[in-house]
Amino acid sequence: MIFGYPLLSAAIWLPILFGLLVLATGNDRNARMARIIALVGAILGFLVTIPLYTGFDRMTSDMQFVEMKDWIVRFNIHYHLGVDGISVLFVLLNSFFTPLVVIAGWQVIEKRVAQYMAAFLIMSGLVNGVFVALDAMLFYVFWEAMLIPMFIIIGVWGGPNRVYAALKFFLYTLLGSLLMLVALLYLYHKSGGSFEILDFHRMAMPSLTAQILVFIAFFMAFSVKVPMFPVHTWLPDAHVEAPTGGSVVLAAIMLKVGAYGFIRFSMPITPDASHYLAPVMIALSLIAVVYIGLVALTQADMKKLVAYSSISHMGFVTLGFFIFNAYGMEGALLQMISHGFISGALFLCIGVLYDRVHSRQIVDYGGVANKMPVFAAFFMLFAMANSGLPGTSGFVGEFMVIMGAVKANFWFAFAAASTLIFGAAYTLWMYKRVIFGAVANDHVAHLRDIGSREKLVFVILAITVLGMGLYPLPFADIMHASVNDLLVHLATPKVLN
């Protein structure tokens, strides 16, 4: 606790409270008020998380800003919150994106504005809850609860095939989550009646078989969210049908939740199983990087293309985790943050085009630069970042993961590095077809360039992407202690032999 109020609780409940307040404004006659309250809530939600960064003690890997209260005494479940150097970054990332999403949906959403804004605010709070929960059940509750607003967002404001996408999204993730629940119950009994994640980290699990089963249960939950090949198929559907804000949150935040699960649960709780199954994980990651990269190349739909590119980039993240060295781990974490900014920005760019032309097909565009020069410049920056151009944030993470992979095995690195080619190919080719050339049709001819509201969002994102690319230290150094601790933990076997 700092400044006399519980920071982490505020990060969770402030957005949720504002969300309820927005809901209370009722129908679309009060849309303006709903928007303003939502923006205030989102900005306040971001402001309360800033002390988490400034007040963070970089020297220790212990949990900080800890809050602990009894919650369900019968099952020894606590309302236990805390952040370490890893989770603090994601809380910030999530809270940072909420105002951007609210601004991005400012004029575009005309139907049921209050519900739209409220869903995003409530989800933002719930996602913060996922990142800061230190009690496994509390984590699980936030984890599942966050599906509800996303389900509604995709289903209500999404594109033509939204119902299919929303149901697919929900059921896919629920399947994984329920198996995780079984694993958590198993751990609860093995640990002698505790749901504390940190107790799970410390508890002995002498049987490799048990570890592998627990690992698989967690894998089902987290791999769906990441998403890893071959359970990635919900993502392109969900992305394509979701409204712009939904896509941004999905790509920038939701995917990180799955990867976060791996480092908070799977790896420290079942270190031996992680080592044992690492070849499988690495193989799946490389398939995602290479194969999904190629799939992205063939997409005709811009959103689908970025969705596949997200899967490919997340393949880098899981690769970085499972090569078990500091470069890989930190690179993967940086990649997560940077991918959040870049994919969010790209979806916002596509949203800008979609709002004007109502098409996501690449063939419907061409020569946009003639009509929207400012937009084309921003889009260029984010496209470059997505292909991993040095100087942008996209480069840092990928480079570190490749360095880590070289240490582990040259061929891993070789396969992973192919993304530098494929990534550049699909992103820049899409960019070329959409932006350059002669004005393709009447729709493009009537395009207006971005307004000040959109400019504001893009400027903020551009500064972050460049800043993180040129000077990644503030991001890297906050996680050092925690990453080292995690690696030490991973190197200590729990199996006795």
Partner 1 sequence: MNLLASLSPAYAEIFLLVMVSAILIVDLFIVNYTKTLTYLLVQISLLGCSLITVATHEDGIVHMFHHMFVDDLMSDVLKLLTYLSVSMMLVYSRSYLMARGLFTGEFLALVLFATLGMMVMISASNFLSLYLGLELLALSLYALVALQRDSAIATESAMKYFILGAMASGFLLYGMSMLYGATGSLDVNNVADVIRHGAPNKPLLVFGLAFVVAGLAFKLGAVPFHMWVPDVYHGAPTAMTMFIGSAPKLAAFAFVMRILVEAMQPLMIDWSGMLMILAVLSMAVGNITAIAQTNIKRMFAYSTIAHMGFMLVGILSGTLEGYGSAMFYAVVYVLMSLGGFGMIMLLSREGFEADTLNDFKGLNQRSPWLAFMMLLLMFSMAGVPPTVGFYAKFSVLNAAVQAGHLQLVVMAVLFSLIGAFYYLRIVKLMYFDAPESHEKLYIQPDSSLLISINGLAVLILGILPNTLMSVCAVSVQQSLLH
User: For partner 1, which is the closer residue by CB, 162 or 303?
Assistant: 162
User: For partner 1, which is the closer residue by CB, 11 or 333?
Assistant: 11
SS3 2: strand
Q: Considering only residues 15-34, where is the footprint of partner 1 by CB under 8 A? A: 26-27
Q: What distance separates the 2 farthest-apart alpha carbons in the chain?
A: 72
- How far apart (Å, rounded) are the C-alpha atoms in residues 170 and 396? 33
User: For partner 1, which is the closer residue by CB, 188 or 327?
Assistant: 188
Q: Are 47 and 31 in contact (CB under 8 A)?
A: no
Least separation in angstroms between CB 248 and partner 1: 21
SS3 107: coil
Q: Find residue 361's DSSP bridge partners.
A: 301
**List of residues 6+ apart from 218 with CB closer than 8 A:** 180, 183, 261, 262, 265, 266, 269, 270
- Token pair in block for residue 460: 């903020």
User: For partner 1, which is the closer residue by CB, 137 or 319?
Assistant: 137
Should residue 145 be labelled a site residue for partner 1 when binding is judged by CB under 8 A?
yes
Least separation in angstroms between CB 245 and partner 1: 17
Should residue 147 be labelled a site residue for partner 1 when binding is judged by CB under 8 A?
yes
User: For partner 1, which is the closer residue by CB, 170 or 375?
Assistant: 170
Contact track, partner 1, 51-80, x by CB under 8 A = --------------------xxxxx-----
Interface residue with partner 1 among 115, 211, 393, 427 (CB under 8 A) is: 115
Interface residue with partner 1 among 14, 34, 52, 152 (CB under 8 A) is: 152
Residue with tokens 């020894």: 76
Listed ranges 59-67, 138-146, 229-237, 436-444: which one lies at the site for partner 1 (CB under 8 A): 138-146
Should residue 425 be labelled a site residue for partner 1 when binding is judged by CB under 8 A?
no
Rg value, the chain, Cα: 22
User: For partner 1, which is the closer residue by CB, 174 or 357?
Assistant: 174
Which of 69, 73, 100, 77 is CA-nearest to residue 462? 100
127 half-sphere exposure, CB direction, 13 A CA radius: 33
Least separation in angstroms between CB 189 and partner 1: 6
Overall size of the chain counted in residues: 497
User: For partner 1, which is the closer residue by CB, 69 or 453?
Assistant: 69
Q: Considering only residues 161-220, where is the footprint of partner 1 by CB under 8 A? A: 162-163, 166-167, 170-171, 174-175, 178-179, 181-182, 185-186, 188-189
Q: Are 267 and 397 in contact (CB under 8 A)?
A: no
Kindly determine how many residues on this chain lie close enough to bind partner 1 according to the rule CB under 8 A.
36
Contact track, partner 1, 246-275, x by CB under 8 A = ------------------------------
How many beta carbons lie within 10 A of that of residue 160, not counting itself? 9
- How far apart (Å, rounded) are the C-alpha atoms in residues 276 and 151? 35
How many beta carbons lie within 10 A of that of residue 9, not counting itself? 19
40 half-sphere exposure, CB direction, 13 A CA radius: 10
Listed ranges 56-64, 133-141, 197-205, 247-255: which one lies at the site for partner 1 (CB under 8 A): 133-141
- How far apart (Å, rounded) are the C-alpha atoms in residues 387 and 372? 22
- Token pair in block for residue 495: 């199996």
Which of 364, 182, 325, 157 is CA-nearest to residue 250? 157
User: For partner 1, which is the closer residue by CB, 76 or 370?
Assistant: 76
User: For partner 1, which is the closer residue by CB, 56 or 71?
Assistant: 71
- How far apart (Å, rounded) are the C-alpha atoms in residues 364 and 441? 8
Interface residue with partner 1 among 141, 198, 203, 287 (CB under 8 A) is: 141
User: For partner 1, which is the closer residue by CB, 157 or 322?
Assistant: 157
Kindly list the residues in this chain that would bind partner 1 in the complex (CB under 8 A). Answer: 26-27, 71-75, 112, 115, 137, 140-141, 144-145, 147-148, 151-152, 155-156, 162-163, 166-167, 170-171, 174-175, 178-179, 181-182, 185-186, 188-189
